């Protein structure tokens, strides 16, 4: 029931109850006084002496008694009405007080606090909204806390390697050979990529990610990305296949190429020697659909819902050797959604993983 209806009914109930109680009490006392007055008149007609004196005097006494009973009835009804009104007001205000206390406790850091919700009126909806917001804020804080812990973990390993090896070189325990220096440069590159990836996600979270869209040929962009990873694919013994339909759309070519490279590098990390990576580009209604498939082991069902989470790795043991930051797929999701598209992943029936993105299509090349 709507709050305004409940308030109107509460006021009406108090008013009707007070009026009814006043009338009933007044009627009871008036009946008794009137019966005494009639009995006195009958006694006067029969020659008996009136206790109040003359009939005129009896009428004055009756009017005074009726007036007094009216005041008593009104005061009693007013007291009862105040009591009923106070009770109803307390019942209506109680959810507001509970919500106020919960809000103050939440502001003090008690993020597990929730309000008890009953009914379907405006106050109940407000309570549900508070619970939803509180749950979302608590989850967001937990995600931020976990992300900080993940960042610290990701930074600790390369920094520990750099510190240990540089100290060993300084003490003469480790030779400053070109191989050792290249390995240290690789750790610096990993740190640089991590910082760049974190900045990209931070800009996306705050709505400050700048896109410079222009009309581009998607098939040409995919060919450029394939050419960039071709040397690594050949070194890994992985074959690249592409079936590309000429399509064009408005997009930021640099950001979109970053998406393609992340997907291709992810496929390379999970495709064994002698395997293949298949890239398909075609139209799907008013969208362009790009698929990056591999012939690797596929993705375990329990990992599918978490693939695009930050620092999530289906195979943590391979994280260091793969050279990834754990943010590649999260960046893919952020950049694709910034272009008004969507991204997802599943397993192919014939085996291997499949990542696909859909982007709004604007004309054909």
User: pLDDT tens across 231-279, in order?
Assistant: 999 999 999 999 999 999 999 999 999 999 999 999 999 999 999 999 9
Q: Are 229 and 271 in contact (CB under 8 A)?
A: no
Does 214 score more than 80 pLDDT? yes
pLDDT in tens, 153-162: 778 878 888 8
Token pair in block for residue 244 = 């590309």
CATH class label, 144-205: mainly alpha
Band of pLDDT at residue 363, cut at 50, 70 and 90: very low
DSSP per-residue string spanning 256-303? HHHHHHHHHHHHHHT--TT-EEEEEEEEETTEEEEEEEE-SS---TTT
Does 217 score more than 90 pLDDT? yes
Band of pLDDT at residue 16, cut at 50, 70 and 90: low
Nearest to 74 by CA among 31, 141, 20, 139: 20
Band of pLDDT at residue 29, cut at 50, 70 and 90: low
**CA distance linking residue 114 with residue 135, whole number of Å:** 9
**CA distance linking residue 263 with residue 283, whole number of Å:** 19
pLDDT confidence of residue 138: 85
pLDDT confidence of residue 124: 79
Least confident of 73-82, 191-200, 261-270: 73-82
Band of pLDDT at residue 364, cut at 50, 70 and 90: very low
| CATH number listed for the domain at residues 214-360 | 3.30.565.10
Least confident of 54-63, 255-264, 288-297: 54-63
**CA distance linking residue 354 with residue 295, whole number of Å:** 9
Token pair in block for residue 322 = 């793969």
DSSP character at residue 236? H
Band of pLDDT at residue 50, cut at 50, 70 and 90: very low
* Mean pLDDT taken over the chain: 81
DSSP character at residue 249? E
Q: How far, in Å, are 193, 240, 281, 363 from residue 360 at the CA level?
A: 29, 26, 13, 10
What is this structure's pTM? 0.61
| Portion of the chain with pLDDT greater than 90, in percent | 33
The residues near 300 (Cβ < 8 Å, ≥ 6 apart) are: 314
Q: Are 240 and 275 in contact (CB under 8 A)?
A: no
Nearest to 316 by CA among 332, 303, 301, 297: 303
**CA distance linking residue 41 with residue 20, whole number of Å:** 31
Q: Where in the chain is the domain with CATH 3.30.565.10?
A: 214-360
Q: Where in the chain is the domain with CATH 1.10.287?
A: 144-205
For residue 344, what are the β-bridge partners? 356
Most confident of 24-33, 135-144, 342-351: 342-351
**CA distance linking residue 339 with residue 204, whole number of Å:** 11
Mean pLDDT of 29-40: 61
Band of pLDDT at residue 318, cut at 50, 70 and 90: very low
> How many Cα atoms within 13 Å fall on the side-chain side of residue 39?
8
pLDDT confidence of residue 86: 72
pLDDT confidence of residue 68: 67
Secondary structure (3-state) at 26: helix
Token pair in block for residue 345 = 């992943």
DSSP character at residue 339? T
| Portion of the chain with pLDDT greater than 70, in percent | 72
Q: What is the total residue count of the chain?
A: 365
pLDDT confidence of residue 54: 53
**CA distance linking residue 282 with residue 290, whole number of Å:** 7
For residue 353, what are the β-bridge partners? 347
Mean pLDDT of 274-303: 94
For the packed helices 328-338 and 253-269, what is the interaxial angle rounded to 10 degrees? 150
Least confident of 53-62, 75-84, 218-227: 53-62
**CA distance linking residue 203 with residue 334, whole number of Å:** 10
């Amino acid at each position: 029931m709507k709050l305004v209806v409940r308030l109107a009914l509460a006021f009406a109930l108090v008013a009707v109850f007070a009026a009814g109680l006043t009338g009933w009490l007044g009627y009871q006392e008036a009946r008794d006084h009137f019966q005494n007055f009639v009995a006195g008149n009958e006694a006067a007609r029969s020659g008996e002496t009136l206790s109040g004196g003359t009939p005129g005097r009896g009428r004055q006494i009756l009017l005074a008694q009726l007036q007094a009973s009216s005041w008593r009835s009104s005061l009693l009804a007013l007291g009862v009405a105040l009591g009923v009104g106070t009770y109803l007001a307390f019942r209506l205000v109680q959810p507001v007080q509970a919500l106020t206390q919960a809000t103050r406790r939440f502001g003090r850091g008690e993020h597990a606090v929730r309000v008890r919700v009953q009914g379907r009126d405006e106050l109940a909806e407000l309570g549900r909204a508070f619970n939803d917001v509180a749950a979302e804020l608590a989850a967001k804080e937990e995600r931020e806390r976990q992300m900080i812990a993940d960042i610290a973990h990701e930074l600790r390993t390369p920094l520990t390697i750099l510190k240990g090896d540089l100290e060993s070189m300084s003490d003469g325990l480790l030779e400053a050979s070109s191989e050792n220096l290249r390995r240290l440069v690789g750790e610096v590159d990993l740190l640089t990529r991590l910082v760049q990836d974190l900045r990209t996600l931070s800009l996306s979270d705050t709505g400050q990610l700048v896109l410079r869209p222009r009309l581009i040929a998607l098939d040409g962009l995919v060919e450029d990305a394939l050419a960039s990873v071709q040397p690594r694919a050949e070194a890994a013994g992985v074959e690249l296949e592409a079936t590309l339909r000429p399509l064009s759309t408005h997009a930021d070519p640099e950001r979109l190429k970053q998406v393609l490279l992340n997907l291709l590098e992810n496929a390379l990390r999970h495709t064994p020697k002698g395997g293949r990576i298949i890239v398909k580009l075609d139209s799907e209604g008013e969208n362009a659909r790009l698929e990056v498939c591999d012939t690797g082991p596929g993705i375990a069902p329990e990992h599918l819902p978490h693939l695009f989470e930050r620092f999530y790795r289906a195979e943590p043991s391979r994280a260091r050797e793969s050279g990834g930051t754990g943010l590649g797929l999260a960046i893919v999701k952020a950049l694709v959604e910034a272009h008004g598209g969507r991204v997802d992943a599943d397993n192919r029936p014939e085996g291997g993983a499949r990542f696909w993105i859909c982007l709004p299509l604007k004309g054909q090349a």
